[in-house]
């Protein structure tokens, strides 16, 4: 137990010393790791902001289903409960003819002509079912349901409507955020691979510089982890430092952009929300970044040292 | 202590093996000299004992460890039980004499106090007191070789393997080294020494194993050098 502790502390110490000695060599590794981790963090936070934006917009959209005057109250209630069972339906509300008229009048309160026209013809407004979808991208499910023969039979000829032109814009937004999310994931994967390769090279160079020492250690009976450990410690240090810097960079980015641009949003990106999200989840983000940095560093150094630590098998 | 049974080592697809059905038995506390021309297979023999190489066929048992049953992760443990003095010293150039010897102890997890207590004693045995803080480049060939010996014996191995330790030394320094090896042997360590030096072999009057073309040509106690 004591021996293990001594060995462990020697591994840590040697790793730290090597980290200091290889600082210049390690710069390249750290630079690319910082880019990777910054990309991860940036994608994460902007993704959260996009989701928030889309969520807010989605809440505002609803589908109006107009029922024919011949439809009975029981039939309408039946339709409501069927709609509620659809997986993509968030909420359903039913307005009978009188309630729908009231809403319509409120919406057109300023237009005296319409109001007087309605008073003359009685109640022309159909009973209405309002459907709120959960996910805009899967609205087709609801459309399909509404266009089924027996369901369509209950509706007026101009039913259903999708809040008019807003739907197209919302579709575009949803599509754009999906694209951005995918681009983010792709960038993260590419940068992560590059940083693994570069750390891998850095460690191999460090090993090459010290290959005599490694051979001697091996011949004197040093265990695999006694030799490998310091390299892993060194790479983990790169990871931790890069993680801290990436968090610092993203923090700086939001602070700078919100103060310098004095804007609450950049195109689709709601900066206010993004920076609130960043501060609210600061510790989680920091921990994830550090964990990722450690993971990338450890994996690449373990792989890099493997070749040099094999025993002859023939 | 050391047992080789019909050990053959062939490198790659070369037709003639480096070692051909070598059988050798070394008792505990014995002092055995292995002689033979360059390329006869001496170094291969030693490299098999430290498991730097694996035999193509045959059985090797050292200190009760059967090499056939040795797993990769157990190789370091084996090497800790065998002290090796290399032909080219293999000292760490950027570490002092003291640190080079201490290195062997650090690897096995000795405490700093143990290291501080043990290393000076071993440097005393090889007559290097006072040179603890020198770097290898500041030492003569004989002194470097003694550092290498100190490092090999600091863990008190039961077996000491010395590959041409006098190879690069003038006669006076060569004898210094041999005396140190004899001293270690008197303390109870089995010593396996390879050498070219005819004078040393003849004066030591120990068991001499002669290797020729990968085979044991002769194996006699108190023998003379004859190749």
- The verdict on a CB contact (< 8 Å) between A7 and B77 is no
Q: Select the residue from B107, B151, B159 to test the A interface by mutation, using most A Cβ atoms within 10 A.
A: B107
- The verdict on a CB contact (< 8 Å) between A216 and B106 is no
pLDDT in tens, B65-106: 999 999 998 999 999 999 999 888 899 988 999 999 999 999
The per-residue pLDDT of chain B, averaged, comes to: 91
Report how far residue A71's alpha carbon sits from residue A75's, in angstroms, rounded to the nearest whole number: 6
SS (H, E, C) A172-194: HHHHHHHHHHHHHHHHHHHHHHH
Report how far residue B14's alpha carbon sits from residue B22's, in angstroms, rounded to the nearest whole number: 18
Give the range with max mean pLDDT: A81-95, A299-313, B120-134: B120-134
Residues pairing with B22 in the sheet = B7
By Cβ distance, the residue of B77, B92, B110 closest to A213 is B92
- Domains of chain A, by residue range, sit at 2-56+170-309, 62-162
pLDDT in tens, A253-308: 877 776 666 555 556 677 778 888 888 899 999 999 999 999 988 988 888 888 88
Which residue in chain A has the smallest CA separation from B79? A221
Largest CA distance in chain B: 53
- CATH code assigned to A62-162: 3.30.70.3040
Cβ-contact B190, B29 below 8 angstroms: yes
By Cβ distance, the residue of B77, B107, B109 closest to A217 is B107
Range of the domain at B29: 2-91+157-220
Residues in chain B with CB shorter than 8 Å from the CB of A3 are 108-109
**How would residue B177 be classed by pLDDT, with cut points 50, 70 and 90?**
confident
Residues in chain B with CB shorter than 8 Å from the CB of A214 are none
- The verdict on a CB contact (< 8 Å) between A314 and B54 is yes
Task: List the strands of the sheet with B65-66, edge to edge.
Answer: B19-26, B2-9, B57-62, B65-66
- The verdict on a CB contact (< 8 Å) between A6 and B109 is yes
Cβ-contact B33, B197 below 8 angstroms: no
Look up the CATH number of the domain holding residue B56: 3.40.50.300
By Cβ distance, the residue of B52, B76, B91 closest to A223 is B76
Angle, CA of B60, B66 and B72, to the nearest 5°: 105
Q: pTM value?
A: 0.73
Is residue A164 scored above 60 in pLDDT?
no
Chain B residues in contact with chain A using a Cβ-Cβ cutoff of 8 Å: 50-54, 72-73, 75-80, 84, 86, 90-92, 103-104, 106-111, 151
- The verdict on a CB contact (< 8 Å) between A221 and B72 is no
- The verdict on a CB contact (< 8 Å) between B73 and A223 is yes
């Amino acid at each position: 137990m004591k021996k293990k502790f001594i060995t462990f502390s020697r591994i840590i110490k040697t790793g730290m010393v090597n980290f200091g000695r290889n600082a210049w060599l390690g710069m390249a590794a750290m630079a690319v790791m910082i880019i990777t981790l910054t990309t991860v963090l940036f994608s994460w936070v902007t993704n959260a902001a996009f989701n928030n934006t889309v969520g807010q917009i989605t809440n505002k959209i609803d589908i109006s289903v107009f029922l024919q005057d011949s439809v009975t109250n029981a039939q309408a209630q039946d339709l409501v409960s069927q709609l509620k069972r659809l997986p993509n339906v968030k909420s359903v509300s039913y307005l009978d003819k009188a309630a729908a008229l009231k809403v319509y009048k409120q919406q057109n309160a300023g237009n005296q002509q319409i109001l007087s026209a309605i008073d003359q013809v009685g109640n022309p407004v159909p009973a209405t079912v309002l459907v709120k979808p959960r996910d805009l991208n899967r609205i087709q499910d609801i459309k399909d349901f509404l266009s089924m023969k027996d369901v369509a039979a209950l509706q007026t000829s101009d039913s259903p409507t999708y809040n008019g032109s807003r739907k197209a814009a919302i579709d575009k937004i949803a599509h754009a955020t999906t694209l951005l999310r995918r681009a983010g994931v792709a960038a993260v994967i590419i940068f992560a691979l590059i940083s693994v390769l570069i750390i891998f090279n850095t460690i191999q160079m460090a090993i090459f510089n010290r290959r005599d020492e490694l051979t001697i250690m091996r011949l004197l009976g040093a265990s695999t982890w006694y030799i490998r450990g310091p390299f892993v410690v060194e790479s983990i240090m790169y990871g931790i430092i890069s993680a801290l810097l990436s968090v610092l960079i993203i923090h700086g980015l939001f602070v700078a952009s919100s103060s310098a641009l004095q804007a609450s949003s950049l195109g689709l990106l709601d900066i206010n929300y993004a920076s609130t999200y960043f501060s609210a989840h600061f510790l989680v983000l920091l921990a994830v970044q550090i964990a990722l940095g450690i993971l990338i560093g450890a994996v690449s150094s373990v792989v890099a040292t493997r070749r040099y630590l094999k025993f002859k098998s023939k | 202590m050391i047992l080789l049974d019909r050990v053959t080592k062939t490198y790659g697809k070369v037709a003639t093996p480096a070692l051909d059905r070598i059988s050798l038995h070394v008792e505990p506390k014995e002092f055995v000299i292995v002689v033979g021309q360059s390329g006869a297979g001496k170094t291969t023999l030693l490299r098999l004992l430290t498991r730097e190489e694996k035999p193509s066929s045959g059985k090797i048992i050292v200190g009760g460890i059967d090499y056939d049953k040795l797993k990769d992760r157990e190789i370091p443990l084996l090497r800790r039980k065998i002290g090796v003095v290399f032909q080219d010293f293999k000292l760490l150039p950027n570490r002092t004499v003291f640190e080079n010897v201490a290195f062997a102890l650090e690897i096995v997890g000795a405490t700093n106090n143990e290291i501080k207590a043990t290393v000076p004693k071993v440097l005393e045995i090889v007559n290097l007191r006072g040179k603890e803080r020198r770097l290898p480049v500041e030492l003569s060939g004989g002194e470097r070789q003694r550092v290498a010996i100190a490092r090999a014996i600091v863990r008190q191995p039961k077996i000491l393997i010395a590959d041409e330790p006098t190879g690069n030394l003038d006669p006076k320094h060569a004898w210094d080294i041999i005396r140190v090896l004899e001293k270690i042997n008197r303390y109870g360590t089995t010593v396996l020494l390879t050498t070219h030096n005819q004078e040393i072999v003849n004066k030591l009057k120990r068991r001499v194993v002669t290797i020729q073309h990968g085979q044991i040509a002769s194996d006699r106690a108190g023998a003379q050098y004859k190749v």
